[in-house]
């Protein structure tokens, strides 16, 4: 099997004049994912974005991770990376250390059920936004976005191939009658 691509962060604002950027961490293991020498693949809309970014240094500043990349020499270059998502490749059998955390590829394909066990749909994608992750469900041909938070997704049963969605009016089933 081939490696699995996992999003580990999103580049924020440039910090200072030496090319540092703030990174919104999307990994429970930032000390592992952003270690000096780690190679990350950025994806974004800016045409000048390098194909890879190599971590050259990190530090925490006021609860924000600041990262310096070898390919980003100054503030001007750092500003052009803003908004890029950062990805790494993981072996397909690797799982997060925390049992309450999941990689995207583990969630895609799970059957979504309501709290009564009725099938709602299937997870087709996980979207990473600044505020939270969203599960994209195919609910009988309709695309439904469900915030991936415990209040709305209280159960993820990997062994059973399912997750439970605590439906709210307007979320999956539509408006109340």
Domain boundaries in the chain? 4-90, 104-164
SS3 107: helix
Beta strands in 34-154 (DSSP E): 39-43, 53-61, 64-69, 85-90, 111-113, 119-128, 133-139, 142-147
Class of domain 4-90: mainly beta
pLDDT at 38: 95
pLDDT at 68: 97
Q: What is the pTM assigned to this prediction? A: 0.68
The whole-chain average pLDDT of the chain stands at 89
pLDDT of 94 above 90: no
**For range 151-160, the mean pLDDT:** 93
Could you tell me which residue, 56 or 176, shows the higher pLDDT?
56
- Would you say domain 104-164 falls under CATH 2.70.98.10? no
Backbone angles phi, psi at 15, to 5 degrees: -130, 115
pLDDT of 176 above 60: no
Q: How confident is the model at residue 83 (pLDDT cuts 50, 70, 90)?
A: very high
**For range 126-143, the mean pLDDT:** 87
């Amino acid at each position: 099997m081939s490696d699995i691509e996992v999003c580990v962060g999103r580049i924020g604002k440039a910090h200072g004049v030496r090319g540092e950027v703030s990174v919104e961490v999307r990994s429970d293991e930032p000390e592992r994912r952003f270690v000096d020498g780690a190679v990350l693949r950025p994806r974004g809309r800016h045409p000048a974005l390098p194909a890879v970014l190599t971590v050259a240094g990190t530090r925490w500043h006021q609860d924000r991770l600041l990262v310096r990349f070898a390919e980003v020499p100054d503030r001007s270059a750092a500003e052009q990376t803003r908004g890029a998502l950062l990805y790494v490749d993981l072996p397909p059998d690797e799982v997060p250390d925390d049992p309450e955390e999941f990689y995207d590829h583990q969630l895609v394909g799970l059957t979504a059920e309501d709290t009564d066990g009725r099938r709602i749909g299937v997870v087709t994608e996980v979207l990473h936004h600044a505020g939270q992750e969203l599960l994209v469900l195919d609910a009988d041909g309709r695309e439904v976005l469900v915030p991936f938070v415990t209040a709305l997704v209280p159960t993820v049963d990997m062994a059973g191939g399912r997750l439970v969605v605590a439906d709210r009016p307007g979320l999956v089933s539509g408006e109340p009658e």
